[in-house]
Structure 1
Amino acid sequence: MEFRLLKTFVTIAKTLSFTKAADSLGYAQSTVTSQIQALEEELGIMLFERLGKQIKLTKEGEHLYTYATQILKLSDEAKDQLSSSLVPKGSLTIGTAESLCVHRLPEVFNIFRSRYPEVEINIRFDTVSDYRTHLRKNTIDIAFFLDVPCKENDLITHMLFEEPMSVIAAPNHPLAKKQQVIPHDINGEPLVLTAEGCSYRRIFESILTQAGAKPSSIMGVSSNEVIKKFVCDGWGIGFLPHVVVQQELMTSQLIELHWAGPPFAIKAQLLYHKDKWLSPALKAFIGVTLATLKE
């Protein structure tokens, strides 16, 4: 398989459009079409299902996409490693949580981009378990996430700082009047939490379960902004990093319940694989992050 064919395939898979892929790669659309046909003929499979003007990957295409992204990434790493230049360049793929990306990492990104403008940064959002999988498959270079302190033999972990968490509710919620809120007080209350797989949702639910507190319902939402809106509207109690809700607390759109239950002990962490080749760009990014965020 030729690298140019794999690159075309991956670009189409990301955009789900032959036209957009052609524009991105600087090819005529007929060239992109013929390249995919050549790749399909070589492999003896169909890579895309074409439904009118829409396309999507076949199961075989999904399998190839996993391998193709790794092949192209390894190719880029090989070029970087063999290059005589030590100036950070190329690209970095960073996995991170939305709250960290919006509220904690902008300073890191700004400093890094000002120093190393030739490095392209790509960001993807996933759950904690997905980050670990991506690091082990080498589909991301580095991950930032919130969790209790954890150590895994094949991953290098840097603890950055403790992330304060807030149990939040609408200002007129009955629990807003309590001087202390413990897990038992949550029993029978509806919750509006992050999606399943989120580390701090798992931690909060674990605390409630250990205390024998059972919420009446749990709504899982993948957007922090939607969670805040639903909690403001009285849909239930929420649990988010304090930095995410501080503006709403200041303007009294939300209230922070006086949590007196077990501490959450959630840490912001930076991880990468122990066997990961640290390119000049990745070394520089780790250095900027530790200098900026590590307590």
Structure 2
Amino acid sequence: MEIRQLNTFIRAAQLQSFSKAAESLGYSQSAVTVQIRRLEEELNTRLFDRMGKRVSLTVQGEQFLSSAYDIMYEVNKAKLSVADESEMHGQLHVGTIESLCFAKLPAILRRFRECHSGVALQVTIGSPEELIEKMERGELDLIYILDEPRYSNNWYKLMEEKEEVVFVASAELELEGEGPFPMEALLDKPFFLTEREANYRRVFDRYLASREMVVTPFLEVSDTAFIIKMLEETRALSFLPRFAVEESVRQGKLRELTVADFHASMYRQIFYHKDKWKTREMDEFVRLAGGSVSP
């Protein structure tokens, strides 16, 4: 029994596909098939049921998966016990959302690169739901999201930091007074918003629905950086995380608005799956992001 066979078995079980496992590991599909077949021969049992391109674990496969996780945990633990603590040479695959990627991640990765140039970094951008799904399949080491508090018995949470979500306007947009503004006074202005059901857009829509109000955005787009650029060049409003707009507000390109009887917050959160061995690279990312490094 080889470590690479166990690793391949775990990835195939997570992705429920030999072809996807091969792609994620950099193997040919035939190499994955051979490794699984040899593992089954050695164990004298069938680990997977094959149904076309999709595979699923047998009862014996489910039992062996738990043992495989335990073995890989101990293998990784043993590797770390003899690793050179002064340098990191591993890999780190982080999943994050677009607003954190452009506003928070550059500083984190710059510091990471300065201290650990030997680490190979990979970043995947998606919605919280897409990233959680990838983490559940073992495709990401950890995820860094902005959302309402998330919890699962399958995850470890390493950070939860509160972030305000605010209304911002183009500096040239004409508004009566300095605020706080009644919501009704803003709804007839052009809004640039993230797409419906996006995390902080959802907070705004819920608030409006509770007061029997609606807004029809002039522009809907998932790219927060593009919205900010449009706001700086066009007279309009938006509803975005404060950390994403604070530099433009400081430079006088945008103006933060106070809205009467309205306050919204979300949370920057970092998770990893309980079946994932937490590496030194993951710990260092969490530290640089300002979070805890336990459990």
Equivalent residue number for residue 154 of structure 1: 154
Equivalent residue number for residue 144 of structure 1: 144
Residues 1:270 and 1:259: Cα distance change in structure 2 (over 3 Å): same
Q: TM-score, normalised by structure 1?
A: 0.66
What SS does the corresponding residue of 1:163 show, helix, strand or coil?
strand
Code of the aligned partner of 1:268: R
Determine if the alignment matches structure 1 residue 259 to structure 2 residue 259.
yes
Residues 1:106 and 1:182: Cα distance change in structure 2 (over 3 Å): same
CA distance in 2, matches of 1:86, 1:220: 49
Equivalent residue number for residue 41 of structure 2: none
- Please state how far the C-alpha of 1:94 moved relative to its aligned partner: 0.4
Residues 1:161 and 1:82: Cα distance change in structure 2 (over 3 Å): same
Q: TM-score, normalised by structure 2?
A: 0.66
Determine if the alignment matches structure 1 residue 208 to structure 2 residue 205.
no
CA distance in 2, matches of 1:233, 1:108: 29
CA distance in 1, matches of 2:162, 2:176: 25
Q: Contact 2:76–2:277 (CA<8 Å) still a contact in 1?
A: no
Equivalent residue number for residue 250 of structure 1: 250
Gap regions ≥5 residues in structure 2: 9-17, 35-51, 56-68
Count of residues in Structure 1 that have an aligned counterpart in Structure 2? 245
Please tell me the root mean square deviation across aligned C-alpha atoms, in Å. 4.0
Equivalent residue number for residue 129 of structure 2: 129
Q: Contact 2:144–2:270 (CA<8 Å) still a contact in 1?
A: yes
Determine if the alignment matches structure 1 residue 86 to structure 2 residue 88.
no
Equivalent residue number for residue 221 of structure 2: 221
- Please state how far the C-alpha of 1:266 moved relative to its aligned partner: 1.4
Residues 1:107 and 1:248: Cα distance change in structure 2 (over 3 Å): closer
Q: Contact 1:194–1:220 (CA<8 Å) still a contact in 2?
A: yes
Residues 1:218 and 1:201: Cα distance change in structure 2 (over 3 Å): farther
C-alpha distance after superposition, 1:1-57 (max 9, x if no partner):
x98x979x749xxxxxxxxxxxxx9xxxxxxxxx79x89xx9xxxxxxxxxxxxxxx
- Please state how far the C-alpha of 1:93 moved relative to its aligned partner: 0.8
Q: Contact 2:93–2:141 (CA<8 Å) still a contact in 1?
A: yes
What SS does the corresponding residue of 1:213 show, helix, strand or coil?
coil
Equivalent residue number for residue 199 of structure 1: 199
Q: Contact 1:186–1:215 (CA<8 Å) still a contact in 2?
A: no
Gap regions ≥5 residues in structure 1: 12-24, 26-34, 43-59, 65-73
Equivalent residue number for residue 14 of structure 2: none
C-alpha distance after superposition, 1:85-104 (max 9, x if no partner):
43443211101123323332
Q: Contact 1:192–1:218 (CA<8 Å) still a contact in 2?
A: yes
CA distance in 2, matches of 1:111, 1:217: 38
1:46-195 to 2 correspondence within 5 Å?
A: 80=76, 83=79, 85-87=82-84, 88-175=88-175, 177-195=177-195
C-alpha distance after superposition, 1:213-234 (max 9, x if no partner):
2113352212223212333344
What SS does the corresponding residue of 1:177 show, helix, strand or coil?
coil
Identity of aligned residues (%): 22
